[in-house]
Amino acid sequence: MRRLAALWLALWLAAPATAQGVPVRAGAHDGFDRLTIDLPRRTGYRIERREGGAALLFEDRALRFDLSAAFDRIGRDRLRALAAPEGQGRLVLDLGCDCALRPFWHGARMLVLDIADPPAAPTAPPAAPVLPFAPAAPSVAALPARLAPVPPRAAPAVAAEPPPPDLAQMRETLIHQLARAASQGLVTLAPGAAPSPADPRAPAPGPARPDARPEAGPPALRAHTAMDRDIAAARPPAEAGETASCPDPALLDVAAWGDPAGLVAGLGRLHRGLYAEFDTIEPGAARDLARLYIHHGFGAEARQMLALLPAPGPEAPWLEDLARIVDHAPASPALAALTGCGAPAVLWALLAGPGIDPGTVFDHRALERSFAALPGPLRADLGPGLVRRLLAAGHADTAERLQRLAERVAPPGDPGTALARAGLAAHRATPGDGPGDAALDAIARTNSDEAAEALARAIEGALARGAPVTPDQARLAGALAQERRATPMGDRLAVAHVAGLAAAGAFEEAAAEATRFADASPGLAAKMARPILLGAAESADDITFLRLVLPGRLLAPATMDPPLAAAIAERLLRAGFVEAAARHAPDDPDDPTLRRLRAEIALARGRPAEAERVLLGLEGPEALRLRARARARQGNHAAARALFAASGATLEADRAALLMRDPAALASASDPLLRDLAPVLAGPGRAGTDTPDRPLARAAALLEQTQAAQAVLARLLAERPAPAAAAR
């Protein structure tokens, strides 16, 4: 009992440590930064280089990392940002240089990653010294001098003696390399006095003389451990990539473009200076007006000011992109490529594209600082969309922090903020739950831009969970789809509309609505037909199902995806439409389920040899039963009985034994009735042979066997009626 209590106490004490995640710490060294990852145990890993950074991927996807102390002791010159997407078991590094990555194990479970400076560029070779004129040859010296004598060239400067080697630098280099070898467990440092620091009283270096030679570089001293050599040999070459240069932060600092006196006063002041002499536009005033409009979220007005510029300057493209972003329109790829920059460029880069790639590396703290610096109305307007983008890319923690910043300034009941909050709740919930359904339904009933998104998300979530979709939701989705016809959101709502009707069992109405929206966008008809046909194959009555499928009214068999075609073919096969099932069944040699379906169709068409050909190479009980049925169709009931028995189908094996008419096989059947039938099949041929001189006894034995056979046959007819009798 004491041991059990001690075990529970140990588990309780260890639980918080497990929940904290794997600590990631860092330290700065001369020429490199070192990351230490204290893993619970050694696990496989690999490093993938990418543009502007790298990713450290672990085989254990369940690892969670604690990055709270990652930048406590290092700057951001080499490692600009570090992220750990939840549930992916990886660390994403945003590098500030073309740094070399050197991983190695230390101890039993600590992984060390050194981020070293790139190697210095090779210096140019020294220029060849200028030599004095060589003496003239004897033949040339005999010629008369017709030109003025050339003044003698000044003697070349004699090269100074090279400076003595810097012993202090050599010592520091050697100590650094020995420390690296000690961290790898290759050497053991003996305790001793620490090296003395440089003398602070040393005089500062004086100004360089014009004729002084450049100082000698670091001494040619370099030490490598055997582990460094092996890791360097196994490391793949780094991928060369170009990183977009970061613009001046002032070009994107929207938070600083406001007017202390407010929007109205700022507009009045700037408009007074907009027109110069002869009604010409003052470029500075137009740009300041555009900045002020962007600061307050008026993108169209800002673009109008930019259109007045007689000659757009270098900052005009950036202002144009910002004006589009505050109007929730996509910006240029040039701005979207700045995700590796700091504040405030990272904020606008993440808002510029259609979404955020899950593998994008960016500075999360710089993003939070940039977002917090925005004016309140702009933060409330841009926050929900940014939160949804971050959540879709797997950055739930950052999305939650930005959501709290947006909620502080959002008006009460703001639909966008509520939609982002519902998305966070759905992300945090366990699979199968439906959190935020009431909130989504409330947003869907508002007259806001977020109503369509909320309704589509509510219907899609209900269908994914198998929950019912109310008729009001389906009808509202149809109305909003008509309003947004021929747009991405309109197509999404149209699919949700017909899928909701099909889930409610209104298949004919769903088919009619699909026909109405079919010409809205290319490919929309197939997207709407899939949920209708799949739902009909699962739950519609036979008449409705055949009416939707057989004419090819919604979707031709050749254009169906394999799961949908397989579901329809299986339903047609059960309904007895074998040829139609054969037309719908996809032929995929790599899918065992589809191969078994085609084998069943071949058996239904009376082609047992084709069924066995389709089943070649398949194993498992279902494949064995199908092979047994094929052998039975060919009259080989003995092989069928063996295959049925191997697959665990005892009833089918007993039936095959009965069809064999083998008393020995029936005697070992699992059904008692069939075992009693074995003597009947054996016949009365040898009954009474042991009493040849007693005919009455022999006749009595035959009569007894006949009565037993009649009783067995009567039981057989009673318990196994003929198909026609069972139908009556």
Q: What is the pLDDT of residues 599-652, one digit of tens each?
A: 889 888 989 998 889 888 888 888 888 888 888 888 888 888 888 888 888 778
Supply the pLDDT for residue 18: 41
Cis before 344? omega within 30 = yes
496 pLDDT tier (thresholds 50, 70, 90): very high
Give CA torsion, residues 675, 677, 683, 686, to 10 deg. 40
Q: CATH classification of 17-116 is 2.60.40.3500, yes or no?
A: yes
Region at 635 (left for phi over 0; alpha for psi -120 to 50; beta for the rest) = left
Token pair recorded at residue 22: 């794997």
Evaluate if residue 500 carries a pLDDT over 50. yes
Report the interhelical angle of 672-682 vs 695-719 (nearest 10°). 140
Supply the pLDDT for residue 298: 94
Supply the pLDDT for residue 369: 94
Q: What are phi and psi of 366, to 5 degrees?
A: -65, -35
192 pLDDT tier (thresholds 50, 70, 90): very low
| Separation between Cα atoms, residue 645 and residue 639, nearest integer Å | 10
Supply the pLDDT for residue 725: 45
Report DSSP letters for 167-201, one per residue. HHHHHHHHHHHHHHHHHTTS--PPP-PPPPPPPTT
Evaluate if residue 236 carries a pLDDT over 50. no
Supply the pLDDT for residue 223: 52
- Specify which residues 114 forms β-bridges with: 34, 102
- Domain spans, the chain: 17-116, 683-728
698 pLDDT tier (thresholds 50, 70, 90): confident
333 pLDDT tier (thresholds 50, 70, 90): very high
- Specify which residues 82 forms β-bridges with: 93
SS3 of residue 625 by DSSP: helix
Q: Express as a percent the part of the chain with pLDDT over 70.
A: 74
Supply the pLDDT for residue 346: 94
- Tell me which of 317-326, 368-377, 397-406, 634-643 is least confident: 634-643
228 pLDDT tier (thresholds 50, 70, 90): very low
- Tell me which of 3-17, 41-55, 580-594 is least confident: 3-17
Measured over the CA atoms of residue 17, residue 19, residue 21 and residue 27, the dihedral's sign is negative
- Tell me which of 329-343, 462-476, 480-494, 688-702 is least confident: 688-702
- Specify which residues 26 forms β-bridges with: 35
* Cα-based distances in Å from 105 to 35, 79, 512: 12, 20, 64
Supply the pLDDT for residue 234: 40
Evaluate if residue 12 carries a pLDDT over 50. no
Largest CA distance in the chain: 165
Token pair recorded at residue 371: 């977002």
